[in-house]
Structure 1
Amino acid sequence: MTRGRARCGRLVIGALLAALFGVLAAAPAQAAGYRYWSFWDRDGAKWAYASQGPSTAHPDDGAVQGFRFSVSEDSKDAAKPRGAADFDAICAKTPAKDDRKRIALVVDFGTPGDAPDGESPPKPRTACAQVADDATSADALAAVAKPLRYDSNALLCAIADYPKSGCGEQVAGNGQSEKAEKKPTAGESSESGEEKGDSGGPSVGLIAGVAAIALLGGAAVWQARRRRG
């Protein structure tokens, strides 16, 4: 009798584990992030994610700013521009002029892994933009890296015609683009799950499935104890 109960208990546990794996396998894959151009300010020897977009930022003469194309979830994991970012080196051949300011720009087109299907990123580049004193960062970028492309919400989509298509699209874990509920804005953090359209946590179905399995397991243990009693 005891052996029969033990065998029955093993069968119940096996069935519960199989059900658990089934629930986990059915859980939807989480999105990896967004593919977009992020915007950066040089703060001393470090890059800092810009607090506003390039169309509203008015950098001072001598500023160093960067743009990086990559796939990232939010500002916390966004890839920084690579390469040298020294104003004196970038603007060495651009003499100062009255009523004009010089902005050193670092443009990093990212890695092949971040590139949309069928495209290859150009090599990173630097440029010294000499623009009017009241010019924005977008004006400075347009002076040295045309053609630029924006979407209807003024999101920067392409620099120097890269990429040729797409704009802030959501990218799944398999690298395929998905339709995004809300696109990120360069210079603004999209850290909350509500903004990304994905909480990043377990799905409601997964939680419910695990809870149901836990209840079944508890019932099986109680029944076995009751029979032994």
Structure 2
Amino acid sequence: MTRGRARCGRLVIGALVAALLGILAAAPAQAVGYRYWSFWDRDGSKWAYAPQGPSTARPDDGAVQGFRFSVSDDSKDSAKPRAAADFDTICAKTPAKDDRKRIALVIDFGTPGDAPGGETPPKPRTACAQIADDATSADALAAVAKPLRYDSNALLCAIADYPKSGCGEQVAGNGESEKKPAESESTESGAKKDDSGGPSVGLIAGVAAIALLGGAAVWQARRRRG
């Protein structure tokens, strides 16, 4: 009799777990990230996410920097620029000048999958910006890739007029843009992860229903022992 009850209990638990997994699988997809321009420094043979935005960074002569448009959650999973990133190659036709510095830029407009609806990304390109010694990375970008577009928080929204609209908007699991949160955590070099998006009402209701079923099973088992 005890073995039968134990087997019955295992079956009930298994059914509850299966039901919970089904509810989780059916839960609506949450937003997966933001669509924005990320900013990169070339460190030897690798790209490193820039520690500050282009409007405050002041690179030295010979620096290589990159910009990549993509959909990503934060700096940990941001897509890196894809074009070749060698200073001697990019700036080969730009001779050095006194009181000026040369910055090699890699501008990657991303993939069609990252593009806003109705837009097609241009091909990645490189450029050598020759600017004043005290100029910023934003100055270097403006010298070779106008028009640029920024939002009121100095977030870089568009390079060479791409994309034509939008700025750091949240993107849902189906690739469609969602309304940008009123309290954005964006920085001028990228958009950070949003903490919103709690459990759905359907998920809470499903868990509550499973809890009731579990309680009923326990009550029934106690009743039989009694």
Normalising to structure 2: TM-score of the pair? 0.84
* Alignment-derived partner of residue 155 in structure 1: 155
CA contact (8 A) 1:38 1:187 kept: yes
Structure 2, gaps ≥5 residues long: none
Q: 1:203 aligns with which of 196, 199, 202?
A: 199
* Alignment-derived partner of residue 185 in structure 1: 187
* Alignment-derived partner of residue 118 in structure 1: 118
Moved more, 45-54 or 15-24: 15-24
* Alignment-derived partner of residue 210 in structure 2: 213
Number of corresponding residues:
217
How big is the alpha-carbon RMSD for the aligned residues of Structure 1 and Structure 2?
A: 2.9
Alignment identity in percent? 84
* Alignment-derived partner of residue 224 in structure 2: 227
Equivalent-residue separation in structure 2 for 1:44 and 1:111 (angstroms): 25
Moved more, 209-218 or 103-112: 209-218
Alignment of 1:1-229 (within 5 A): 20=20, 23-24=23-24, 27-181=27-181, 182=184, 184-187=186-189, 190-191=192-193, 196-198=194-196, 203=199, 205=201, 206=203, 209-210=206-207, 213-214=210-211, 216-229=213-226
Amino acid at match of 2:192: S
Amino acid at match of 2:91: C
CA contact (8 A) 1:75 1:190 kept: yes
Offset at residue 197 of structure 1 (A): 3.7
CA contact (8 A) 2:36 2:191 kept: no
Structure 1 segments, 4+ long, off by >4 Å, are: 8-19
Deviations 1:6-27 (A, max 9, x none): xx99997898579646743663
Deviations 1:50-82 (A, max 9, x none): 000000000000000000000000000000000
Moved more, 71-80 or 8-17: 8-17
Offset at residue 32 of structure 1 (A): 1.1
Structure 1, gaps ≥5 residues long: none
Equivalent-residue separation in structure 2 for 1:188 and 1:51 (angstroms): 11
Q: What secondary structure sits across from 2:113 in the alignment?
A: helix
CA contact (8 A) 1:32 1:171 kept: yes
Offset at residue 28 of structure 1 (A): 3.9
Offset at residue 211 of structure 1 (A): 5.7
Normalising to structure 1: TM-score of the pair? 0.83
Amino acid at match of 2:223: R
CA spacing shift, 1:122–1:54, aligned 2, 3 Å: same
